[in-house]
């Protein structure tokens, strides 16, 4: 009867803290104290060590549900994104989940479903992950977060506008677009076209504004613009409108790499060589940029770092801090789709 912990091999369920306590010959609270890391000055070092070893030996892991219930915290954060089917958000998730894991947090993604982006469940049990410690929202406005309760929020890639309300982490997209235009202008281009993404998000408004300002600063620079959805077909159509102009641009600046793929198609259809007859640039530097032929000059966005910094900011916020707004530097990646304009 007193041989606690030994000989009870039949029960292979996960050990509880009480099992650890019994096996180590101490009480449950001692186990809790030791494993919680706040035992110094309250438990003798020898006991602490013994407890740690027993826990290790038994393969003890605290029961998350009990922990959450007691602490009123879930150690789970929600990553809200506009669409899960974009190559951009994978790295964001990776970055967030990586630093989250380092702090004992899990990350769950919302929405699970592109089709109906904001449908709260009908039954009260339909959205099990309602219990959440905080929210990271990427590429959207604060308004879009109605229905998520009053959890602490960090806004990612949503512009500094929300900075008063919530901590923000953004890319320095203006710098990126300025670098693109400077690169092109340095090559000798003067007639610019901008293929704008017809998407109402801060980042695209910022890209458009930056292009306009940058071209304005190029002596003799002119800018024409066409907008389209972020898919190959729409981008191709928009590009055709630009390329059909009497004084057609010699360089097309795209809001997105995928749109650049559409430009390639439009150019080929007109018999225009890239980059000989037409220079093209993208934005984001997703996989497709290197799959295109010629490879695409574009702007690399540190998407993973966005997730990391966002999670760090959220952690700071949860800890009672007031994280500063941050803007992540971007990088112009010059490949083979840009060259001096035709003579």
Partner DNA sequence: CTGTTAGCGCGTTCAG
Partner DNA sequence: CTGAACGCGCTAACAG
Residues 135-174 that bind DNA (CB under 7 A): none
Please, what is the angle between helix 232-243 and helix 257-269, to 10°?
A: 50
Q: Is position 39 an interface residue for a second copy (rule: CB under 8 A)?
A: no
Q: What does 123 bind: a second copy, DNA, none (CB cut-off 5 to 8 Å by kind)?
A: a second copy
Note the residue count of the chain. 343
> Which residue, 178, 172, 173, is CA-closest to 204?
173
Q: How far is the CB of 264 from a second copy (least distance, A)?
A: 6
Q: Which of the stretches 24-32, 116-124, 176-184, 195-203 binds a second copy when contact is defined by CB under 8 A?
A: 116-124
**Cα separation of 320 and 259, whole Å?**
42
Q: Is position 8 an interface residue for DNA (rule: CB under 7 A)?
A: no
> Omega of the bond prior to 75 within 30 degrees of 0, cis?
no
Please say whether the beta carbons of 49 and 92 come within 8 A.
no
Q: Is position 62 an interface residue for a second copy (rule: CB under 8 A)?
A: yes
Letters for 90-109 (x = contact with a second copy by CB under 8 A, - = none) are: xx-xx-xxx-xxx-xxxxxx
Binding test (CB under 8 A) with a second copy, winner from 68, 175, 187, 201: 68
Please say whether the beta carbons of 235 and 227 come within 8 A.
no
**Could you tell me whether strands 326-328 and 168-171 are parallel, antiparallel, or unpaired per DSSP bridges?**
parallel
Q: What does 165 bind: DNA, a second copy, none (CB cut-off 5 to 8 Å by kind)?
A: none
Binding test (CB under 8 A) with a second copy, winner from 155, 173, 226, 261: 261
- Contacts of residue 307, defined as CB under 8 A and 6 or more positions apart, other chains included, come to 79, 91, 92, 93, 94, 95, 96, 97, 98, 99, 136, 156
**Cα separation of 37 and 49, whole Å?**
12
Q: Is position 221 an interface residue for DNA (rule: CB under 7 A)?
A: no
Numbers of helices and strands, H then E, in the chain: 11, 12
Residues 15-74 that bind DNA (CB under 7 A): 16-18, 25-30, 32-33, 35-36, 38, 41-44, 46-48, 60, 62-63, 66-67, 69-72
Residues within the interface to a second copy (CB under 8 A): 35, 55, 60-66, 68-69, 74-76, 84-85, 87, 90-91, 93-94, 96-98, 100-102, 104-109, 112-114, 121, 123-131, 232, 258, 261, 264-265, 268, 287-288, 290-293
């Amino acid at each position: 009867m007193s041989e606690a912990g030994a000989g009870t091999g039949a029960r292979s369920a996960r050990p509880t803290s009480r099992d650890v306590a019994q096996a180590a010959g101490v009480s449950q609270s001692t186990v809790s104290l030791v494993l919680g890391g706040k035992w110094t000055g309250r438990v003798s070092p020898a006991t602490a060590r013994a407890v740690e070893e027993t826990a290790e030996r038994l393969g003890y892991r605290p029961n998350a549900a009990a922990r959450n219930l007691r602490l009123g915290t879930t150690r789970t954060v929600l990553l809200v994104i506009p669409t899960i089917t974009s190559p951009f958000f994978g790295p964001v998730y990776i970055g967030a989940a990586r630093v989250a894991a380092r702090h004992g947090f899990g990350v769950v993604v919302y929405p699970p479903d592109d089709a109906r982006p904001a449908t709260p469940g009908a039954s009260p049990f339909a959205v099990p992950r309602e219990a959440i410690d905080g929210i990271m929202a990427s590429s959207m406005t604060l308004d879009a977060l109605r229905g998520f309760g009053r959890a602490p929020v960090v806004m990612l890639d949503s512009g500094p506008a929300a900075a008063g309300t919530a901590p923000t982490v953004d890319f320095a997209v203006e710098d990126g677009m300025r670098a693109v235009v400077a690169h092109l202008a340095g090559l000798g281009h003067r007639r610019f076209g901008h293929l704008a993404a017809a998407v109402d998000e801060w980042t695209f408004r910022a890209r458009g504004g930056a292009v306009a300002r940058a071209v304005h600063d190029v002596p003799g620079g002119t800018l024409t613009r066409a907008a389209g959805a972020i898919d190959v077909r729409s981008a191709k159509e928009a590009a055709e409108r630009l390329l059909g102009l009497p004084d057609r641009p010699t360089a097309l600046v795209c809001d997105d790499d995928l749109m650049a793929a559409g430009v390639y198609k439009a150019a080929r259809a007109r018999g225009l060589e890239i980059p000989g007859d037409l220079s093209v640039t993208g934005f984001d530097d997703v996989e497709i940029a290197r799959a295109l032929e010629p490879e695409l000059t574009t702007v690399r966005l540190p998407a993973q770092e966005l997730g990391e910094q966002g999670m760090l900011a959220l952690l700071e916020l949860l800890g009672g801090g007031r994280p500063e707004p941050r803007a992540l530097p971007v990088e112009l990646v010059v490949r083979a789709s840009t060259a001096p304009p035709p003579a």
